[in-house]
Structure 1
Amino acid sequence: MAQSKNSQKPHDQMAAYLAQDLDAVNTLIRTRMASKHAPRIPEVTAHLVEAGGKRLRPMLTLAAAGLCGYDGPYHVHLAATVEFIHTATLLHDDVVDESGQRRGRPTANLLWDNKSSVLVGDYLFSRSFQLMVETGSLEVLDILANASATIAEGEVLQLTASQDLATTEAIYVQIVRGKTAALFSAATKVGGVIATASDAQVQALYDYGDALGIAFQIVDDLLDFQGDAGAIGKNLGDDFRERKLTLPLIKAVARADTEERAFWERTIEKGRQTDGDLETVQSLLRKHNALTDTATQARDWAAKAKAALAPLPEHALKDMLGDLADYVVERIN
């Protein structure tokens, strides 16, 4: 049995366990992304929704609800809500970042235009609120509305901090907790709330999602410098080219000598990048152990996520959530 478990990635194992619920979520997503009057909406949405994403965030909602014994219909609504919020933020992010590739495919703003991406993202946000209202829970509405505001806040903070060499690791974590972890923690928390879990269990689910989301984003930022471009679905070094001060760069900047500081001022603050600069960045990251230390922090957050699960009942889904935390950081290897 252990061999079978090890042969399957944790998110695939969870997807198989939750297959019936995931099918219901996918059906609901396709139904609600339809538009009678604007056919571009389902075209743009389908491009992203059907692009082979892992449905990780909606799976977290389904898993949290299942772990806490929920047997009603609304976990499906909430999982679809979470995916709509996520898809809306991706559409907006690609416009802000002027990205040309997402999940190994051309971005919606490249295939259509920025206006379509922004407006379809707005439509999906509206759809998400319609779905969460249908649950009849003001607490659920409060959690997901707060998460939506926090995501936007994190993105705006990143805009102001990403090209400022004074940006600290604490500010970076604040950005990541907003733009990425807020939806992870909301996804897990609403699963517990809809299942009327105890306050301690709801808090445990929130803490798990928060730590998992931070670990997930740190690993993504790390893989931008040492991953496989085909596997991560974007070009290596994109964050540097976009002048985003992610954790590996923040560490290298903090440890820079005078000459290195001048390099960072030219490439990040002033945006004057030339051929060979990415190779210099890689060299400086290695010199200052920035990649190794970033990986250590990602593993620490993954360990916090696993530890947070302690108050939750014993269940196959609890084990899968623990394995998922391990897998998030195994991507580093």
Structure 2
Amino acid sequence: MSATVHHIGRKGPPSLDPIMSLVAQDMNAVNSVILDRMQSDIPLIPELAGHLIAGGGKRMRPMLTLACAKLLDYPGTRHHKLAAAVEFIHTATLLHDDVVDGSDLRRGKTTANLVFGNPATVLVGDFLFSRSFELMVEDGSLKVLKILSGASAVIAEGEVDQLTAQRKIDTSEERYLDIIGAKTAALFAAACRISAVVAERNEEDELALDAYGRNLGIAFQLVDDAIDYVSDEETMGKGVGDDFRDGKVTLPVILAYARGNEEERKFWQDAIIGHRTSDADLAHATDLMRAHGTIDDTLERARHFGQRAIDAIAGFGSGKAKSALIETVEFAIARAF
């Protein structure tokens, strides 16, 4: 079948409704696995895990596993446990992230580390990682195990890389893209790719879904990094300006620093090392970004990667699954508008 080219931004406001509707029945099965496997004889474990898992997340990554399986007309149920494994990997990394970042809010709720303490939060994250690997082993595919375990290692590398880049204003755009490619996009890519493995499709289909997920993940993170400066707490479900106060050098900052005059660059140097973190400083930072168009340019890059994601699945047949996957990309980018 000839590839159909689809361009972002040709219709009204996109939503996640199509993908949620597409995978609703499968998602019920996945949620049952998640609920079952987060249980433990140690009551604190399901209590703490449930604090985040029941916290209203979109479950985008497991939904992608299920939707990609639909795209390939996979008739089985192996992907249910694997989608749960993907969600456990994601949840474990969120728990660890909140401890590392000292975050106060996640999905609009007080973070687990503030409620239960850092030691318990880290250990329950480890528990969920372990559960994810149990689910992978039960699936029995060494290829699936290799993809998901590889992604887990890459995510950890990305988080460490981000930590070492923190408060370093001279971080390059290339390194920033490497960091988000690892810490965010790797799991999106793996979540999509494993569907081609369970559906026993060829490597070309595997790589196409990997590219879809990877580019969607990069676009998703670029939008997150932009709206950290221009959204509100209720919309984001986390504190506004957290990245700024944490000294995270994201793309809007990298571009603003590169385009700034000497006085502006001095401001960014002071801000990123933690000397300018007040609300007034955050407002000034946002003003500088607007003046230099760095938020718009970050979102333009997000659209570029979003288009690459859509192009990656152009060769698959049209239908509800493909349309839902395309609209998911459009939704990820539209969150900023």
Which is further off, 319-328 or 273-282?
Answer: 273-282
| 1:156 match | 160
- Offset at residue 129 of structure 1 (A): 0.2
| 1:31 match | 36
- 1:230-285 C-alpha deviation (Å, 9 max, x unpaired): 11112221110111111101110111211112111211125453452111101110
Aligned match of 1:316 in 320, 327, 335? 320
Query: For the residues of structure 2 that align with 1:322 and 1:51, how far apart are their CA atoms?
Result: 26
Residues matched between the structures, number: 327
Aligned match of 2:240 in 223, 231, 236? 236
| 2:27 match | 22
| 2:199 match | 195
| 1:3 match | none
Whether the 8 Å contact between 2:78 and 2:198 is mirrored in structure 1 is yes
- 1:285-310 C-alpha deviation (Å, 9 max, x unpaired): 01211111111111111111110111
- Offset at residue 8 of structure 1 (A): 9.0
TM-score, normalised with respect to structure 2: 0.94
Q: Aligned AA for 1:296? A: E
- 1:153-185 C-alpha deviation (Å, 9 max, x unpaired): 000000111211110111111000000000000
1:1-333 to structure 2, matched below 5 A, reads 10-36=15-41, 38-333=42-337
Query: For the residues of structure 2 that align with 1:97 and 1:317, how far apart are their CA atoms?
Result: 36
Gapped runs of 5+ residues in structure 1? Answer: 1-5
Whether the 8 Å contact between 1:188 and 1:209 is mirrored in structure 2 is yes
Whether the 8 Å contact between 1:201 and 1:311 is mirrored in structure 2 is no
Which is further off, 116-125 or 280-289?
Answer: 280-289
- Offset at residue 92 of structure 1 (A): 0.2
Whether the 8 Å contact between 1:225 and 1:282 is mirrored in structure 2 is yes
Change (3 A) 1:10 1:272: closer
- Offset at residue 71 of structure 1 (A): 1.6
CA RMSD across the alignment: 1.4
Change (3 A) 1:325 1:112: same
Q: Aligned AA for 2:162? A: Q
Gapped runs of 5+ residues in structure 2? Answer: 1-10
SS at match of 1:118: helix
Q: Aligned AA for 1:89? A: T
SS at match of 2:161: helix
Q: Which runs of 4+ in 1 moved over 4 A?
A: 6-9
TM-score, normalised with respect to structure 1: 0.95
- Offset at residue 9 of structure 1 (A): 5.2
Whether the 8 Å contact between 2:244 and 2:277 is mirrored in structure 1 is no
Query: For the residues of structure 2 that align with 1:128 and 1:326, how far apart are their CA atoms?
Result: 29
- Offset at residue 192 of structure 1 (A): 1.1
